[in-house]
Amino acid sequence: MAASHSPNQNHLLAALPKDDFDRLSADLELVPMPLGEALYESGGRLWHVYFPTTSIVSLLYVMEDGASAEIAVVGNEGILGISLFMGGETTPSRAIVQSAGHGYRLKAQLLKQEFNRAGPVMHLLLRYTQALITQMAQTAVCNRHHSVEQQLCRWLLLSLDRLSSSELVMTQELIANMLGVRREGVTEAAGKLQRAGLIRYSRGRITVLDRGGLEKEACECYGVVKKEFDRLLRDVPRTAHAQMVPSAHA
Amino acid sequence: MAASHSPNQNHLLAALPKDDFDRLSADLELVPMPLGEALYESGGRLWHVYFPTTSIVSLLYVMEDGASAEIAVVGNEGILGISLFMGGETTPSRAIVQSAGHGYRLKAQLLKQEFNRAGPVMHLLLRYTQALITQMAQTAVCNRHHSVEQQLCRWLLLSLDRLSSSELVMTQELIANMLGVRREGVTEAAGKLQRAGLIRYSRGRITVLDRGGLEKEACECYGVVKKEFDRLLRDVPRTAHAQMVPSAHA
DNA sequence: CATAGTCTGTGCGTCGGCGCACACGGGATA
DNA sequence: TATCCCGTGTGCGCCGACGCACAGACTATG
């Protein structure tokens, strides 16, 4: 598919003031982000930051015994690699592409320079980080108190918000890994949602039929996080820079 | 007790370059932080930031139905009110004093000014925030996968690290609220630890007898977080400013 | 010393999630 | 078309945590 790509598809990039954006745009590199790719490994160095456009990436913590849990999800609203400008040179989490698509990447050094100008770019990045923190915290509470079914709803909604379509390409096994629960638990919860007419799925394709219904089934965690993202990133000007980066892809 | 107080007891303050510290020191106000006090309410505005010295504060998320969970703990290694400089004017979490003591507070406006100088103070605060993020993320995973007993051990160790003594003043009921579990669950876990000779307690006083033993019982989460804090805040110069703020307290 | 209030111990029944095992079936491949 | 594999459905037994109820036991207070 020769769909047109533009950095504007990423909300953070789109929100940059024109001159900041212009300075960076030549160095933005369009990259495909295939399902399952690991952008960062736990403890690894950060060579690039990524601005997803049509992909979704999960931040995972993996434990010694192999058990894992998603602590946040990043899509076209955000950026991957915050620990770069927060000060640690490495990231403690894994970043795994959870929904294939594209994104723009930027050399770590360049983003750092930009951040250190201490201007609008910095403040935008910090606000986004604040929103991400909220998501992590809410995930912690959700893990403590809510049922697999509620969490599945929350997770589907978070993914939906970051995609243009209402179909997710995603096996139950993968979802289980993200949520840190059993695959069978997901099967059961998903079955319930399907019988209720909220979703339909088969072999790795999930279609959301009734978004409102999902929201009612989900725990409050989804709403809290969404509201905070909206609040923190709402009043940033959606500049929508006119020019397109010469999309140097296959 | 006329114990001497000094801003140096807070690691972040102690790590400030001398001239930055000097600029702030006159505005640092020593305040008592009694057990149970709420420094921030969820959604409230931040009028001050706090640098605990001898107290410990928990960041809690409280849900609609009243259930709660601690997402991070802040003691003399840190600062409360990070959302101030991250960009949100409000904080989404409650901050409750979990262990009584003292701390220094600073008017929000002043810290913001300092942060906006975009110098060492800013970088120190961002590094600390990065460490805090790690703690939150690890808490999320811990909530998902670990038993009440393991989490209790982790929690005791985190508290211990932030106190000079090995005695915590803390009822099981309170601990249960922090961990987001049943009080009876804490009773059971604590009983087990006591029978194993790791701790001793009665009516709100917990004495840690065998720290090494606790570390063995705890899940890896404690170690991961501690290591990351050490890594991120290790190489900050512990300047230990000579002068004392005229401690204007009762 | 008596009393009240708080903190801790303990014993239920219940339930959600886990780990395991295996059956079914659609899609791709040969 | 025959075969294999992967994704999904389902049925166990098990265990940890929950909710509830109540019994000691220590402390503070008058």
Residue type, position A130, single letter: Q
Q: What residue has token string 């919860």?
A: A189
Q: Is B45 on the interface with A (CB under 8 A)?
A: no
| Residues A219-231: b if buried by 16+ CB within 10 A, e if exposed | bbbbebbbebbeb
- Taking CB atoms and an 8 Å limit, are A126 and B87 in contact across chains? yes
Footprint of strand D on the protein (CB under 7 A): A 171-173, 183-184, 187-188, 190-191, 194, 201-204; B 147-149, 180-182, 184-185, 202-203
Name the closest residue (CA) to the C1' of nucleotide C26.
A203
Residue ranges with strand state E in A93-171: 94-99, 101-107, 167-169
Chain A neighbors of B73, CB-CB under 8 A: none
Q: What are the structure tokens assigned to B232, written together? A: 């991120």
- How many angstroms separate the CA atoms of B68 and A141, rounded? 7
Secondary structure letter of residue B9 according to DSSP: G
Does the structure show a pLDDT above 80 at A245?
no
* Predicted local confidence at residue A234, as pLDDT: 82
Chain A neighbors of B93, CB-CB under 8 A: 137
Overall average pLDDT of the A91-112 stretch: 95
Q: CA-based Rg of chain B, rounded to a whole angstrom?
A: 18
A91: left (phi over 0), alpha (psi -120 to 50) or beta: beta
- Whether the beta carbon of A202 falls within 7 A of nucleic chain C: the reply is yes
Chain A neighbors of B139, CB-CB under 8 A: 140
- pLDDT tens over chain B, length 250 residues: 446 899 999 999 999 999 999 999 999 999 999 999 999 999 999 999 999 999 999 999 999 888 999 999 999 999 999 999 999 889 999 999 999 999 999 999 999 999 999 999 999 999 999 999 999 999 999 999 999 999 999 999 999 999 989 999 999 999 999 999 999 999 999 999 999 999 999 899 999 999 999 999 999 999 999 999 999 988 655 555 655 444 444 3
Specify the pTM. 0.92
* Predicted local confidence at residue B247, as pLDDT: 47
pLDDT band at A238 (very low <50, low <70, confident <90, very high): low
**Nearest nucleotide over every DNA/RNA strand to the B203 CA, judged by C1':** C7
Q: How far is CA A161 from CA A12, A15, B35, B134, in A?
A: 15, 18, 41, 25
CA dihedral sign, ordered A183, A188, A191, A197: negative
* Predicted local confidence at residue B3, as pLDDT: 62
- How many angstroms separate the CA atoms of B242 and B51, rounded? 18
In angstroms, how far is D30 C1' from A117 CA? 67
Query: Is B235:B123 a contact under the CB 8 Å cutoff?
Result: no
B94: left (phi over 0), alpha (psi -120 to 50) or beta: beta
Q: Is A150 on the interface with B (CB under 8 A)?
A: no
What angle, rounded to 10 degrees, do the helices at A120-145 and B120-145 form?
20
- How many angstroms separate the CA atoms of B193 and B176, rounded? 16
The mean pLDDT value of chain A amounts to 92
* Predicted local confidence at residue A4, as pLDDT: 86
| Residues A30-50: b if buried by 16+ CB within 10 A, e if exposed | bbebebeeebbeeeeebebbb
* Predicted local confidence at residue A88, as pLDDT: 82
Name the closest residue (CA) to the C1' of nucleotide D18.
B182
CA diameter of chain A:
54
Overall average pLDDT of the A193-216 stretch: 94
Q: Each residue of A160-198: pLDDT tens digit?
A: 999 989 999 999 999 999 999 999 999 999 999 999 999
- Whether the beta carbon of B190 falls within 7 A of nucleic chain C: the reply is yes
In angstroms, how far is C24 C1' from A203 CA? 13
Chain B neighbors of A147, CB-CB under 8 A: none
Secondary structure letter of residue B166 according to DSSP: S
Q: What are the structure tokens assigned to A95, written together? A: 């970043």
* Predicted local confidence at residue B88, as pLDDT: 83
Show which of residues 157-196 on chain A sit within 8 Å of chain B, judged by CB atoms. 180
* Predicted local confidence at residue A198, as pLDDT: 95
Burial of B124 (0-12, 13-18, 19+ CB in 10 A): buried
* Predicted local confidence at residue A237, as pLDDT: 56
Q: Is B224 on the interface with A (CB under 8 A)?
A: yes
Does the structure show a pLDDT above 60 at A240?
no
The C-alpha angle with vertex B87 and arms to B85 and B88, in degrees rounded to 5, equals 115
Overall average pLDDT of the A99-115 stretch: 96
Query: Is B44:B90 a contact under the CB 8 Å cutoff?
Result: yes
Q: φ and ψ at B236, to 5 degrees?
A: -75, 135
